[in-house]
Amino acid sequence: MHTPAKLGLYGLGLAAVFGAAFLVAGAIVPPSAVESHAEAADDAAGAHGGHAPRTQPRAEGDAAAHALPGLSLAAGGFELGAIAAPHRTGAGGELSFSILDAHGEAVTEFTETHEKDLHLIVVRSDGAEFRHVHPALGADGTWSLPWTWEEAGTYRVFADFTPTAGGEQLTLSRTIDVGGDFEPASGGADVREAAVGGFDVRLTGDLVAGGPSTLALDVTRDGAPVTDLQPYLGAFGHLVVLRDGDLAYLHAHPEGEAPEPGDRSGPAVEFATETPTAGRYLLYFDFRVGDEVHSAPFVLTTSEGGAAEGDIPEGDHDDSH
């Protein structure tokens, strides 16, 4: 498990994660509306033995997922079930959940995407804590892994997966509250440099509101270029982009051909991405050297683009991710 990324929006370093894929979030929805929808669904799940009723909430979840990838607990006939986890910081335990089908049954068959059957991304609402991990699937359809919260707050849990029965890659999420002393990270200037595990990573390029852009991550160690980046999850780097405020979920495509086992690259990894609206974005980059994965966090604010805020660029879903 990666150490949680400390995304200090006031300039402190954070840990980050990357992937070779891209989903575009749609029109802006107030975070309170999203949270209320998720909480209502969680309450309904508790009243039905952990499974939400298969009526109108399912259709509403599908519509929300189409508009805002990663901000709905249900889409495409599947649902992210209730999440069990420790309730306070420092308490060891297990984080577990199931993916439910339209009948409320736990799904047990998944198609591998980026070398894993499911990618679990957990981030605090202010972006200050970030993890990208891969739980194990039990025979009963329960995904689980050992878990301890290091910081209190409200977290969004994203499950990124492709059910074999559905064939469409989905990103579903729920929120969970963690008790303990909580001090939210404050906003601040963009962050383009990060130091992690003895490496220095610099981000160049800009995000353009409503349009495509290319970002480059340059990895050095003790001032020297790092040229032995190893493949990780089917690419030389994995990038996740979250919109600050509602944590709408985006991926970025790494440029170039997919690496073969034994290939090496560096010092730079480039990503093609597209941001649907103006605003601040939290970026998390994972890279692998010497069989160890390191995470580096960044913050960017979009420059002026060609689309009005709230517009969704054409081709907003890319199923190749």
Q: How confident is the model at residue 179 (pLDDT cuts 50, 70, 90)?
A: very high
pLDDT (average), residues 296-307: 78
pLDDT tens, 263-272?
999 999 999 9
Question: Does residue 227 have a pLDDT over 90?
Answer: yes
Question: What per-residue confidence (pLDDT) applies to 202?
Answer: 98
Q: How confident is the model at residue 156 (pLDDT cuts 50, 70, 90)?
A: very high
Closest by CA position to 158, among listed 202, 207, 212, 120: 120
Q: How confident is the model at residue 171 (pLDDT cuts 50, 70, 90)?
A: very high
**Angle ∠(102,106,112) on CA atoms, nearest 5:** 100
Closest by CA position to 298, among listed 251, 239, 229, 225: 239
pLDDT tens, 81-116?
999 999 999 999 999 999 999 999 999 999 998 889
Question: Does residue 158 have a pLDDT over 90?
Answer: yes
Read off the pTM.
0.73
What are the chain's domains? 16-24+187-301 (2.60.40.1930), 31-178 (2.60.40.10)
Ranges assigned E (strand) in the chain: 5-6, 74-75, 78-80, 93-100, 118-124, 129-133, 136-137, 142-147, 153-161, 170-178, 193-196, 199-204, 211-221, 224-225, 238-243, 249-251, 253-254, 268-275, 280-289, 292-301
CA distance linking residue 88 with residue 224, whole number of Å: 42
